Amino acid sequence: MRNYTKADLEELVSCQLENLNAMHDLLSIMKVQNELLHNANKKLKDEISEFKEKHFVYPTGKRNRK
């Protein structure tokens, strides 16, 4: 069993706080990325819906019958 000094415990707590802050920063970045993806997906869905609503008429030539 190891005995920790006050300095050891303070260093551990300091490292844990740094890790928590880093995770918070990463979560914030992921939240922004998620919002960007959501907006891009919504825009794409809207564009696909508009495309499907349009009726395209393709010219057809007379077929050669033998």
Q: What per-residue string of b and e applies to 24-46 under the rule 16 or more CB within 10 Å gives b?
A: eeeeeeeeeeeeeeeeeeeeeee
pLDDT tens, position by position, 11-64: 999 999 999 999 999 999 999 999 999 999 999 999 999 888 886 666 777 665
Instruction: Give 42 or 66, the one with higher predicted confidence.
Output: 42
The 8 Å CB, 24+ separation contacts for 59-66 are: none
Predicted confidence at residue 17, as pLDDT, reads 98
Query: SS in 3 state form for the chain?
Result: CCCCCHHHHHHHHHHHHHHHHHHHHHHHHHHHHHHHHHHHHHHHHHHHHHHHHCCCCCCCCCCCCC
